[in-house]
Amino acid sequence: MAGEHLSGARRRWLVDVARWRPSPAQFQAAAALLPPHHRAAIDRFVKEEDRKRALVSQLLQYSLVHHVLGIPFHQIDICRTVEGKPYLQNRTLNFRNFNFNTSHQGEYVGIASELLCLVGLDIVCISKPQGETALEFINNFASYLTDHEWNCVVCDNSPDEMLTEFYSNWRFWLFKLDEVHLASIARGHPEDAVNSYKRTLSNLVIEEREFHDALEMPEGAFILQTVEQLTQLLQD
């Protein structure tokens, strides 16, 4: 039952923003679902693609909290620490350490949530370096790679393959979303959080066995959502 409880709060959602081509009216209708201060933050972005990513990131946060915790949409209070990590201001008795993290780059915006462990998410778009070859770019990081990692990166690989392998070794990537996007999930102990984030959690003291059970749970795949699905969740 504990595993079911933990997995019930664990979500891995992803939106391909390149597939969402809203009209100005459709964009404003989706943004209107959010609290005014979030809409103002979105409007500060100059580029349309940046506004889309910012909007989808907020929609993911609110729809996930509403879906997982059952908090009525208009009662959800999402804030940010001084470091910029989002957290849920609402206190929930059965989900005391519920936390989530978002990331976006390229065509994808994603969110990951956990019940006990701290969760981190990082999405990266593999881009070709400007003004230098792939090998010259990777050489800048040579001192950070082990001999084995270096050999895996450069051995008999094309420039594109070198970049893909480099990004795979530079961080521990768990998911290949497509040919040019990678995602990693990190889980850790709540006591390892920075002080500003510790204050947002209600259950820093966790039994060792309970923590390791949560830590060792297998990772599930990301579920691809559409903006239409997210807005429908918020209106249910």
CA distance 196 to 143: 33
* Three-state secondary structure readout of 146-180: CHHHHHHHHCCCCHHHHHHHHHHHHCCCCEECCCC
CA distance 24 to 28: 6
> Closest Cα to residue 55, out of 73, 79, 69, 38?
38
Residue 145 clears pLDDT 90, i.e. is over it: no
SS3 80: strand
- Residues 58/64, Cβ–Cβ less than 8 Å: no
Residue 80 clears pLDDT 80, i.e. is over it: yes
CA distance 112 to 102: 7
Residue extents of the structural domains in the chain: 2-126+180-235
Say which CATH class 2-126+180-235 falls into: alpha beta
Question: Between 130 and 222, whose confidence is greater?
Answer: 222
CA distance 7 to 26: 34
- Give the model confidence (pLDDT) of 102-119 as tens digits: 998 888 999 999 888 888
Residue 223 φ then ψ, to 5°:
-105, 125
Say which amino acid occupies 133. T
When mean pLDDT is compared across 70-79, 167-176, 178-187, 195-204, the lowest value belongs to: 167-176
Query: For the chain, percent helix, then strand, then coil, each to nearest 5?
Result: 45, 20, 35
When mean pLDDT is compared across 3-12, 69-78, 90-99, 142-151, the lowest value belongs to: 3-12
Burial class (CB in 10 A: 0-12, 13-18, 19+), 66: buried
- Tell me the pLDDT band of 7, cut-offs 50, 70 and 90: low
**What pLDDT score was predicted for residue 78?**
92
CA atoms within 13 A on the CB side of 152: 12
